[in-house]
């Protein structure tokens, strides 16, 4: 999202007030996602028919914006790129997948050794916050809630970190202006940068 904001620009959408956000979270808990989806279908059928409504975050965000502005979410989303006042050069680095996965596993091990479990435990009471629905925390939250044991939490963190890396590669492949290099090919990378 941040890269898209720089490269293409993004629509300026309002942020819901804390009161509206809390109200939507309360409704999600008490009414369930199906009731909120039905409301979204009624209030903004264009967005409902084109959005990833399986994702509760998308449904909640759209309803929050509608409640905040009185306008449909789809009417506020132009989907149009904005003219950028600068040139963009994108360089992507690749590496052998197994090597990448080994590095991810070692990184998770290092994070565990540095206190990831204690950090997640200190944040457990805030697990409902969207900002904490991230790889590392959410798996430990499941462990703390008794859904599985410590070893399973670690396995899930490693697996989900690898999946996230794969999603990132897929995401970056959407940019036709991306110039890809093997991370070990330093000469080619330097030559490309010098010639830009």
DSSP string, 71-89: S-HHHH--------SS---
pLDDT band, very low/low/confident/very high, at 74 (cuts 50, 70, 90) = confident
And the tokens for 27?
A: 């409704």
Burial of 40 (C-beta count, 10 Å sphere; 0-12/13-18/19+): buried
Prediction pTM value: 0.65
Supply the pLDDT for residue 84. Answer: 82
**Contact predicate 56/29, CB 8 Å:** no
Supply the pLDDT for residue 87. Answer: 85
The chain-wide mean pLDDT, for the chain, equals 91
Supply the pLDDT for residue 145. Answer: 97
Question: For 25-38, what is each residue's pLDDT tens digit?
Answer: 999 999 999 999 99
Supply the pLDDT for residue 110. Answer: 98
State the residue for tokens 């905040």: 68
User: Between 152 and 7, whose confidence is greater?
Assistant: 152
d(CA 186, CA 184): 6
Supply the pLDDT for residue 181. Answer: 96
**Residue (of 60, 82, 71) closest to 6 by Cα position:** 82
Question: For 153-194, what is each residue's pLDDT tens digit?
Answer: 999 999 999 999 999 999 899 888 899 999 999 999 999 999
**Alpha carbon of residue 45 to chain centroid:** 24
Residue 113, number of CB atoms within 10 A of its CB: 8
User: Between 58 and 114, whose confidence is greater?
Assistant: 114
**Contact predicate 64/20, CB 8 Å:** yes
> Residue 55 gets which letter from DSSP?
S
**Contact predicate 48/16, CB 8 Å:** no
Supply the pLDDT for residue 53. Answer: 83
Q: 8-76 has which CATH code?
A: 1.10.20.140
Provide mean pLDDT across the span 123-139. 92
Domain 90-195 sits in CATH 3.40.50.1260: no
Residue ranges per structural domain of the chain: 8-76, 90-195
Interacting residues of 107 by C-beta distance below 8 A, sequence separation 6+: 161
Question: For 76-109, what is each residue's pLDDT tens digit?
Answer: 887 677 788 888 889 999 999 999 999 999 999 9
Quote the longest CA-to-CA distance of the chain: 59
d(CA 173, CA 92): 9
Highest mean pLDDT among 58-62, 69-73, 89-93, 113-117 belongs to: 113-117
Supply the pLDDT for residue 43. Answer: 95
């Amino acid at each position: 999202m941040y890269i898209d904001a720089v490269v293409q620009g993004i629509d300026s959408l309002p942020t819901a007030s804390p009161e509206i956000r809390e109200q939507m979270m309360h409704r999600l808990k008490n009414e369930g996602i199906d009731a909120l989806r039905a409301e979204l279908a009624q209030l903004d059928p264009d967005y409902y028919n084109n959005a990833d409504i399986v994702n509760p975050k998308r449904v909640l965000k759209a309803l929050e914006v509608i409640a905040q502005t009185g306008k449909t979410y789809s009417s506020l989303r132009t989907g149009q790129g904005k003219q950028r006042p600068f040139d963009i050069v994108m360089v992507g680095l690749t590496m052998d997948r197994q090597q990448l996965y080994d590095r991810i596993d070692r990184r998770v091990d290092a994070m565990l050794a540095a206190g990831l479990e204690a950090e997640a435990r200190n944040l457990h009471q805030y697990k409902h916050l969207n900002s904490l629905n991230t790889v590392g925390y959410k798996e430990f939250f499941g462990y703390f809630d008794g859904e599985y044991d410590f070893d399973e939490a670690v396995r899930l963190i490693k697996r989900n970190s690898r999946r996230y890396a794969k999603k990132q590669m897929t995401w970056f492949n959407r940019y036709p202006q991306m110039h890809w290099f093997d991370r070990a090919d330093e000469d080619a990378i330097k030559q490309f940068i010098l010639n830009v």
